Amino acid sequence: MSKDTTVQMTPEEKLKLITRNLQEVLGGEELKKLLSERDISLYWGTAPTGKPHIAYFLAMTKIADFLQAGCHVKVLIADIHAFLDNLKSPIELVKLRAQYYEQIVKCMLKSIGVPLEKLEFVIGSSYELTPEFTMDNYKLASCVTEHDAKKAGAEVVKQSDSPPLSGLLYPGMQALDEHYLGVDAQFGGVDQRKIFTFAEKYLPILGYKKRIHMMNPMVPGLQGAKMSSSDPDSKIDLLDSKKSVKTKINKAFCEEGNVETNGVLMFVKHVLFPISSLRDDKPEFVVERPEKYGGNTVYSDYESLERDFAEKNVHPGDLKNSVSSAINILLDPIREHFEQPEMQKLLAEAYPAPKAVAKPVKQKKKHNKCPEDRTAPSAESVEEKLAGTTI
């Protein structure tokens, strides 16, 4: 990460840094107004459900931008939300997964050079179980319609044919987080947009101010769809081995000349280029290839890489090899941290291996054995039947 330049930055420069690479900002005029007066405070939240994957680096690069722009940043580990979301995290595992998430997020930030001393980590249950928050939650429940609650959580909360009531509480609690964390803005993926507009509608009804909302684009998965913790084929885990990273990238959809639905290329655009720009503000990505095929090519902007790939000047195999190398460099310090015995213990307890289900033992049929529910006829009853039979 580049050195702290917040003292010399103008409000306009801070605005540019805060909003770069974002897909959308709700409340842009309020953001400009606040920056002309003071530095802003914001939070980014994550629910400790499945293991975080490499797409989380997209949020980490923005946290780096926010800090450099002088923002006061809070990272919310939303433990209550984790089991409200259709029990994605069983209640007995939530506390352990919250600890794991805090460790893994800190490791990710360190790996891209973000100073942790400027960050504040908050566990959701530290205030979401207070009488004040609970009463506000009841107040929201009295004015929020079922339609609005369902709509708000449609892109975030796990959907099912018979959803539990907990999913309807999720958006309201996330809206209240903005007030109880005392921030000016919330940052998240564009999949959070419906929850953000829900918060803008309902917080003022409780007498609380409407916040600014900033959204990142979603990083496509390796097969083209959204990268998801619940789909192992779409993602790379932060603790995957070097060999596993290379194997997954090699299997990824990356059609020659295709720049529209290409998860590998999109990862370069949304993650690798922004991370490289944190170092002295000079983005760079190197496509590695043998000298006999032209040698390495250094790209200082994504547009040039996309153009060369579209014109088939960059082969999918070379792109994949280069992306694998870059990802493994990012993951090396994270893997090293989690080699420690206490981290291995935390990982095993937070994500225990599924218990093997014993297969039912098939009973062998004995054809000469009378069924248990039937009694074999006695000799006397057989004789009686035969005596009454006419041949």
Show the DSSP H helices in the chain as ranges.
11-19, 28-37, 56-68, 79-84, 91-111, 125-128, 131-143, 146-153, 166-180, 193-202, 242-251, 263-267, 273-277, 302-310, 316-337, 341-350, 379-387
The token pair at 77 is 């580990």
Count of alpha carbons within 13 angstroms of residue 325, beta-carbon side:
11
Distance, CA of 75 to CA of 119 (rounded, Å) = 7
Q: How would you write the pLDDT of the chain (391 residues) with one tens digit per residue?
A: 444 544 589 999 999 999 999 999 999 999 999 999 999 999 999 999 999 999 999 999 999 999 999 999 999 999 999 988 766 678 889 999 999 999 999 999 999 999 888 899 999 999 999 999 999 999 999 999 999 999 998 888 776 667 778 888 999 999 999 999 999 999 999 999 999 999 999 999 999 999 999 999 988 878 765 555 555 666 899 999 999 999 999 999 999 999 998 999 999 999 999 999 887 678 899 999 989 888 999 999 999 999 999 999 999 999 999 999 999 999 999 999 999 999 999 999 999 988 766 666 666 666 555 555 555 556 565 455 445 544 4
Cβ atoms of 191 and 220 closer than 8 Å: no
Count of alpha carbons within 13 angstroms of residue 90, beta-carbon side:
6
DSSP state of 268: I
Distance, CA of 219 to CA of 264 (rounded, Å) = 10
DSSP state of 158: P
Backbone angles phi, psi at 297, to 5 degrees: -125, 130
The residue among 284, 285, 331, 260 whose CA lies nearest residue 54 is 331
Backbone angles phi, psi at 390, to 5 degrees: -100, 130
Amino acid at 119: L
The token pair at 231 is 């789909």
Classified as helix, coil or strand, 77 is strand
The token pair at 149 is 């609650």
The token pair at 244 is 């596993």
Which secondary structure element, helix H or strand E, spans residue 285, and what is its range? strand 285-287
Amino acid at 246: K
Strand pairing class (24-26; 212-216): antiparallel
The model carries a pTM of 0.84
Angle between helices 11-19 and 28-37 in degrees, nearest 10: 140
The token pair at 3 is 């050195």
Distance, CA of 24 to CA of 19 (rounded, Å) = 8
